[in-house]
A and B are shown apart, each in its own frame.
Chain A
Amino acid sequence: MTDKQYDVIIIGAGVVGAMIARTLSRYKLDILLIEKDADVCMGASAANTAIVHAGYDPPPGSLKALMNVTGNRMWDTLAGELNFPFERRGDYVVAVGQEELPKLDELYQAGIKNGVPGMLMLGGDEVRRREPNINPEVSGALWASTGGICDPFAVVIAAAENAVVNGVTVMLETACQGFVIEGQRIVGVKTNRGTFRCRWAINAAGLYSDVVMHEAGLRPEFKITPRKGEYYVFDRAEITINNVLFPVPTKVSKGILVTTTVHGNTIIGPNAQDVEDKEDRAVTAAGLDEIWQGAVKLVPKLSLRQVIAVFAGLRPAGNGECTTPGVNYKHDFVIEIPQQVSGLVNLGGIESPGLTSSPAIAERVVELLKDAGEKLVEKRDWNPIRNARPRFRDLPREEQKLLIRNDPRYGRIVCRCESVTEGEIVAEIHAPVPVRTYDALKRRTWLGTGRCQGGFDTPRVVEILARELGVSPQEITKKGPGSQFLMRRTKAVEPEEARSVSQRQDRGGPNGEV
């Protein structure tokens, strides 16, 4: 038990939690942001299409629609202040064949109702002219100029870092295990690191938002159904897609799209598969086949030979009912201060467009707190700016030269495919949100994401992490406890009980002397 008292404890350091932490750090509040995993941005925020949506998809009148369109408008300022990669390239919803055309019109109408600016209906010829790699059968497209792409890791990390610099405490590998409730009020959060007292808890637990709200005795009917989406990533520059290409959407999702990342890789996916396990990010053969079929429908030129990565993400799809009268929609965002329990801001079902909406959601949380009588006093010295650390490969040569002159570690390339230097790695390890795992470095520097997928850098990165953290290489993990890279020293003898008698017998031969 600890007596540490916070004003606000935010549960979950995905994009929503980090954005709330950063937004609340404007005020004179003692804030704790807890995350069950070994890094921020480990759940739904980590594995998605990285798109800042224009806002024509959510049903008009839904909270999703409002948050999406409001959030979308905030991204230019956000990217400017937090210095993460964001490009407002626009996106297309592509119709193939005449039968898909009416769907475009529906989307256009929804977009108008939602207040999406900058939409345009394009004919097939115009689309072919703009995207030469597109399926020649394209019959038309809805163009939305406010669509954008970002690097979601960079967004969450930047927001969390800015929060830390403004006084927020981040605790990783700290899981919410329940609440301390006195009367009808939440006064503390129980974790694996002890209990922390607070005046407000904020449920930003994403895939686990249902579990967290049930702990608080709320909404027993609310359920998150993890919806898996699988993706392929292609080698940079093998094929170029200028913009985000959506197919016409289905009932459950926006469909399998073809897009480009801010790092220049083409990416395809996701499919939509409901699963039970909140940690089931396994890629399936059937799923990969499905996204492949979907993607080649849009861009027939894609080749599987150029795939450099596959991954799966889980969308935290909820069953929250839309509260707007007259709108029948059962998968809306939940953003509320419930009546039954005080001291809790309850969020749930923040699936797509959650990334886009996150800055708007954070502002809405501020409004809810004010409405609940919380006196939010702005800090005089709040610093909205978070400076990005230098990325060697993106710098002009003169600046590279200077960087190496000032710190020779920037002269040592550790990841050859992505040209990531030791200097960058060391800087990340000692950043405001410190790095302790390989994957955390990977998301920050993009090391290990290229053609060799870490084959070259892994031994070198393990060594640097161990050196900088002052631990044995054996303790270095890929993504937190249980994911160690190394088992033991060579020549070390394993404990006797670990080696079964039969194992030694069947080995036999000249290696018996080991």
Chain B
Amino acid sequence: MALKTKYDVIIIGSGPAGLAAAVAAKKEGAEDVLIVERDKELGGILLQCIHNGFGLETFKEDMPGPSYAQRFAQEALSLGVETLPDAMVLDVTSTRHLYAIGKWSGLVDLEARAIVLSMGCRERTRPQIRIPGTRPAGVYTAGTAQRFVNVEGWMPGKRFVILGSGDIGMIMARRLTFEGAKVERVLEIMPFLTGLTRNYVQCLLDYNIPLQLGHTVKRILGNHRVEAIEAVRVDAKWNPIPGTEEVIPCDTLLLSVGLTPENELSKKAGVLIDPVTGGPFVDEGMQTNVPGIFAAGNVVHVYDLVDWVTEAGYLAGRSAARFAIAERKRATGQVKLQAGDNVRYVVPQVMDREALAQSGQRLQMRVVKPIEEKVWVEIMDGQNLVARKGQRYARPGEMVTVDLPQKAYDAVQKADHLTVRVVKRGGE
């Protein structure tokens, strides 16, 4: 499918927010909607979330992540949403130009009347929480481990300790246990669970995986591969309490220590970021401070359930479509009339597209050079002839007129601008 250069709505990211935005934008009346996705398939992080619990609100059904994604992807495609998979957006401007590259698409420059930012979030990493110790293989974020296990089909370890009681961490504890690994412990620095209670019950309690609140990893041991971690109890200010250290032998440490909205592109477009959420400031329609740039999902703030992400995607998609339609109307309300071959000028220079709905329009002009034989005065939309009239000659001293008939109404709607030319009739 050939890409257009300009779209009503371009959506960056095809996770639940992006897919919902695409569906909603199309339903709201946007003509061209494009999703740019960096992975080969649509669905974003849902594709690696093979556990159930998705869609309880949206579909009143309990579905695994990939099914939830597929349902939306199919709906989007059946509505005529275009996709550019395996491509990464490298730059977005406040004037809504996008610059993306892909293995198959090459480098593409795109323009949008409205943009929906739905890049999701990324996981916090070891350096961000500054765990001391060595830097061996075997320290993964829970999401990276999830991709290895659920998408690539590889086990990144055999004996795990998980730091953080976030949802992905708990879900991975269960998943790894299913795959025959031993999850020694889940440690949580806070004195309370940070994920959903249902995940604690279904993922940890049901499988006898111990959770220790008020504990963290004091250091990592092992030069090549993780050999153990040292767990420690912390006080109310998160400082390790000396004497409470415990070395837990393991080969892998998973980190489930929080998510950060992914807003590097947003910043490039001039979108203002709320320092508290880490996501853009948005209005009631999910529009950012930059007109025509909308945001939805975890890129705005980190959600707990996918259904709410979907809802935000719908809202942003609808708003983006309305913005694009208004933009299109504003920009396309008038059509320019330009001088072509052997024409010095045309009056009027612009015309309301709706003008032909009332009556035909007469265009007036002067030619540049005399032509002392039969000529056509032609009104063109690019290479397409819209209307013409014949004359016996054309001279600069005499004004030339041509009528744009009412029946050219449809042609005028399609045109960006019309060109008038005066050419020899010869050869006919």
Decide if B125 touches A453 in the complex (CB within 8 Å). yes
Chain A residues with CB below 8 A from B240, complex form? 285
Decide if B90 touches A283 in the complex (CB within 8 Å). no
A310-B130, A452-B125 as given contacts; A478 in contact with B158, CB under 8 Å: no
Residue among B107, B207, B264 with the most chain A CB within 10 A? B107
A81 vs B144: C-alpha distance when bound (angstroms): 40
Chain B residues with CB below 8 A from A463, complex form? 152
A494 vs B155: C-alpha distance when bound (angstroms): 11
Decide if B128 touches A308 in the complex (CB within 8 Å). yes
Interface residues of A in 340-382 (CB under 8 A from B): none
A422 vs B101: C-alpha distance when bound (angstroms): 12
A477 vs B127: C-alpha distance when bound (angstroms): 21
Which secondary structure dominates where chain B touches chain A?
Answer: mixed
A221 interface residue per 8 A CB criterion: no
Chain A residues with CB below 8 A from B101, complex form? 400, 404, 411, 413
A405 interface residue per 8 A CB criterion: yes
Decide if A487 touches B251 in the complex (CB within 8 Å). yes
A65 vs B155: C-alpha distance when bound (angstroms): 52
Choose one: A412, A459, A483, A511; the contact of B177 (CB below 8 Å): A511
A503 interface residue per 8 A CB criterion: yes
Interface residues of A in 448-477 (CB under 8 A from B): 451-456, 458-459, 463, 473-474, 477
Decide if B137 touches A310 in the complex (CB within 8 Å). no
CB distance from B147 to the nearest CB of A (A): 5
Choose one: A309, A419, A478, A499; the contact of B137 (CB below 8 Å): A478
CB distance from B124 to the nearest CB of A (A): 9
Decide if B178 touches A514 in the complex (CB within 8 Å). yes
A498 vs B159: C-alpha distance when bound (angstroms): 11
Interface residues of B in 92-109 (CB under 8 A from A): 99, 101-107
A488 interface residue per 8 A CB criterion: yes
A263 vs B320: C-alpha distance when bound (angstroms): 37
CB nearest neighbor in B for A416 = B88
CB nearest neighbor in A for B104 = A408
A482-B225, A484-B137 as given contacts; A412 in contact with B103, CB under 8 Å: yes
A459-B151, A482-B224, A507-B208 as given contacts; A307 in contact with B128, CB under 8 Å: yes
CB distance from B68 to the nearest CB of A (A): 22
CB distance from A451 to the nearest CB of B (A): 7
CB nearest neighbor in A for B240 = A285
Chain B interface extent, by class = 35 or more
B133 interface residue per 8 A CB criterion: yes
Chain A residues with CB below 8 A from B141, complex form? 455
A311-B135, A397-B107, A411-B101 as given contacts; A486 in contact with B224, CB under 8 Å: no
Residue among B101, B141, B224 with the most chain A CB within 10 A? B101
The 8 A CB mask of A255-291 against B (1 = contact, 0 = none) is 0000000000000000000000001011111011000
B206 interface residue per 8 A CB criterion: yes
Decide if A485 touches B102 in the complex (CB within 8 Å). no
Decide if B206 touches A308 in the complex (CB within 8 Å). no
Decide if A451 touches B137 in the complex (CB within 8 Å). no
A309 vs B86: C-alpha distance when bound (angstroms): 29
Chain A residues with CB below 8 A from B180, complex form? 493-494, 499, 514
Decide if B122 touches A490 in the complex (CB within 8 Å). no
Chain A interface extent, by class = 35 or more
A479-B224, A487-B157 as given contacts; A411 in contact with B107, CB under 8 Å: yes
Chain A residues with CB below 8 A from B177, complex form? 507, 511
CB distance from A410 to the nearest CB of B (A): 8
A282-B219, A487-B156, A487-B158 as given contacts; A401 in contact with B206, CB under 8 Å: no
CB distance from A176 to the nearest CB of B (A): 20
Chain B residues with CB below 8 A from A492, complex form? 155
A481 interface residue per 8 A CB criterion: yes
CB nearest neighbor in B for A487 = B155
Choose one: A309, A484, A509; the contact of B127 (CB below 8 Å): A309
A489 vs B152: C-alpha distance when bound (angstroms): 9
Chain A residues with CB below 8 A from B103, complex form? 404, 408-409, 411-412, 422
A452-B125, A481-B224 as given contacts; A510 in contact with B152, CB under 8 Å: no
Chain B residues with CB below 8 A from A452, complex form? 122-123, 125
Decide if A477 touches B206 in the complex (CB within 8 Å). no
B402 interface residue per 8 A CB criterion: no
Interface residues of B in 379-417 (CB under 8 A from A): none
Decide if A489 touches B155 in the complex (CB within 8 Å). yes
A480 interface residue per 8 A CB criterion: yes
Decide if B152 touches A400 in the complex (CB within 8 Å). no
CB distance from B417 to the nearest CB of A (A): 28
Chain B residues with CB below 8 A from A514, complex form? 178-180
A99 interface residue per 8 A CB criterion: no
CB nearest neighbor in B for A230 = B132
Decide if A455 touches B144 in the complex (CB within 8 Å). yes
B148 interface residue per 8 A CB criterion: yes
CB nearest neighbor in A for B221 = A282
A477 vs B156: C-alpha distance when bound (angstroms): 12
CB distance from A268 to the nearest CB of B (A): 13
A183 interface residue per 8 A CB criterion: no
Decide if B137 touches A483 in the complex (CB within 8 Å). yes
Decide if A490 touches B127 in the complex (CB within 8 Å). no
Decide if A397 touches B130 in the complex (CB within 8 Å). no
Decide if A288 touches B105 in the complex (CB within 8 Å). no
Chain B residues with CB below 8 A from A473, complex form? 152, 154
Chain A residues with CB below 8 A from B135, complex form? 281, 283, 311
The 8 A CB mask of B195-236 against A (1 = contact, 0 = none) is 000000000001110000000001111011100000000000
Interface residues of A in 416-460 (CB under 8 A from B): 416-417, 419, 422, 451-456, 458-459
A474 vs B166: C-alpha distance when bound (angstroms): 28
CB nearest neighbor in A for B220 = A282
B149 interface residue per 8 A CB criterion: yes
Choose one: B102, B128, B155, B251; the contact of A412 (CB below 8 Å): B102
The 8 A CB mask of A300-324 against B (1 = contact, 0 = none) is 0000100111110000000000000
A491 interface residue per 8 A CB criterion: yes
A455-B123, A493-B180 as given contacts; A411 in contact with B207, CB under 8 Å: no
A498 vs B158: C-alpha distance when bound (angstroms): 10
Chain A residues with CB below 8 A from B106, complex form? 401, 404-405, 408, 411
A284-B132, A487-B157, A487-B251 as given contacts; A503 in contact with B107, CB under 8 Å: no
Chain A residues with CB below 8 A from B126, complex form? 453
Decide if A282 touches B133 in the complex (CB within 8 Å). yes
A508 interface residue per 8 A CB criterion: yes
Q: A285-B218, A309-B127, A483-B137 are in contact. List 18 more A-B contacts (CB 8 A).
A: A400-B107, A404-B106, A412-B86, A412-B102, A412-B103, A413-B90, A452-B123, A453-B127, A455-B123, A459-B148, A486-B148, A488-B154, A488-B158, A490-B153, A491-B153, A494-B158, A494-B180, A507-B182
Q: What are 15 inter-chain pairs, A to B, with CB distance below 8 A?
A: A233-B127, A282-B221, A285-B219, A400-B101, A411-B107, A451-B260, A455-B125, A473-B152, A473-B154, A478-B224, A483-B137, A485-B156, A490-B154, A493-B180, A514-B179
For the complex of A and B, the 8 pairs showing the least CB-CB separation, nearest first, are: A482-B224, A478-B137, A483-B137, A412-B103, A453-B125, A483-B224, A413-B88, A486-B154
